[in-house]
Amino acid sequence: MTIPAENLAFKMQLKPGHVEEYKKRHDTLWPDLAEALRGAGIYDYSIFLDEDTLSLFAVLKRRPGADHDAGFTALPLQPVMRRWWDYMADLMEVEPDNKPRQWTLQPMFHFD
């Protein structure tokens, strides 16, 4: 039996001149952050760059279930997540608490 996944998509904004550094930091993602993401039920997470606008488009899949829902809701409160936001804040548009500014993207089409 296949458990259906929840797909989430959102947009973020990179600051000019930081493309290479953004990629470098994500290429060396901290193991404890990866573990926190997995604990929140996230198993597939991609970020794409529009080089003309420096918009970042993120798509993630997460497993459904009460344990994962609680982990996903608590993710912004985890110290490793807060450290990551602080680490990335100089590269992208952020909220006052350094959380990346996010704009939710609405699903328009899916082909399976």
Q: What percentage of the chain's residues is helix, strand, coil (to nearest 5)?
A: 35, 30, 35
β partners of residue 55: 13, 50
26 as an active site residue: the answer is: yes
CA gap 91, 21 in Å, rounded: 8
Q: Which residue is catalytic, options 18, 26, 68, 110?
A: 26
Residue positions annotated with a catalytic role: 26
